[in-house]
Chain A
Amino acid sequence: GAVVSQHPSRVICKSGTSVKIECRSLDFQATTMFWYRQFPKQSLMLMATSNEGSKATYEQGVEKDKFLINHASLTLSTLTVTSAHPEDSSFYICSASASLQGSEKLFFGSGTQLSVL
């Protein structure tokens, strides 16, 4: 199967600081990666689609200057939450698509629990 590694798994930071989350596809090349956030007891919400070598496509309502996405290589995408505030506290998950057995499937990182004090 395809493995997606996400780090860190948990981060606690002070309000106003920036936090970087890494998402790596370990055994396959991912031209497209996705970033989601999930609030407690709610569904996953797509934040942005990250394409290698080009600018990310953000969903409506997501501030691109606040959530910086960089997809510099076929195996690495990063999400930086800039000047984090308590309302940014959430569970952030990345995923990458891989073609397995003739169909596209999404494989998820383990997620990052961000707590902003």
Chain B
Amino acid sequence: GQNIDQPTEMTATEGAIVQINCTYQTSGFNGLFWYQQHAGEAPTFLSYNVLDGLEEKGRFSSFLSRSKGYSYLLLKELQMKDSASYLCAVTDSNYQLIWGAGTKLIIKP
């Protein structure tokens, strides 16, 4: 079956760095997305990785290792507004999007 695993919840301190991991087992791979979702709102696009390596975009970076079926989202200089759920999603060989359950990130002052 197809599966995406990410931690249910993480806690970090304002100003610190946090890494949210995502592992996947899917039938084929055509890219991995990270989305941010605040409570009661739709997800917003953060990053897209299709090749191995690190993609940096401001305070957020995303890493992919296709051979390991692994990705992480790195958030630097955490701000209170970063408190949200972070969703990992993978596009399989049929271009179907498989969603993880999301990681709830709690930022403490």
Contact = CB atoms under 8 A, between A and B. Distances in A.
B45 A107 contact: yes
B106 to A, nearest CB: 14
B97 A103 contact: no
Given A103-B31, A103-B48, A106-B33, A43 B42 contact: no
Contacts of A46: 96-97, 99
A108 B43 contact: yes
Contacts of B75: none
Nearest to A103: B48
Given A43-B87, A44-B87, A111 B41 contact: yes
Nearest to A107: B45
Nearest to B31: A103
A89 B99 CA distance: 21
B99 A44 contact: yes
A105 B42 CA distance: 15
B99 A43 contact: yes
A44 B48 contact: no
A43 B37 CA distance: 11
Interface residues of A, number: 19
A69 B8 CA distance: 32
B40 interface: yes
Contacts of B101: 42-43
Contact of B45 (A45, A105, A109): A105
Nearest to B96: A46
B42 A109 contact: yes
A113 interface: yes
A103 B50 contact: yes
Interface of A: 6, 34, 42-46, 91, 93, 103-111, 113
Interface of B: 31, 33, 35, 40-45, 48, 50, 87, 91, 95-97, 99-102
Given A34-B97, A43-B101, A103-B50, 6 more contacts: A44-B43, A46-B96, A93-B42, A93-B43, A106-B33, A108-B43
6 contacts: A43-B100, A46-B96, A46-B99, A91-B40, A106-B97, A108-B45
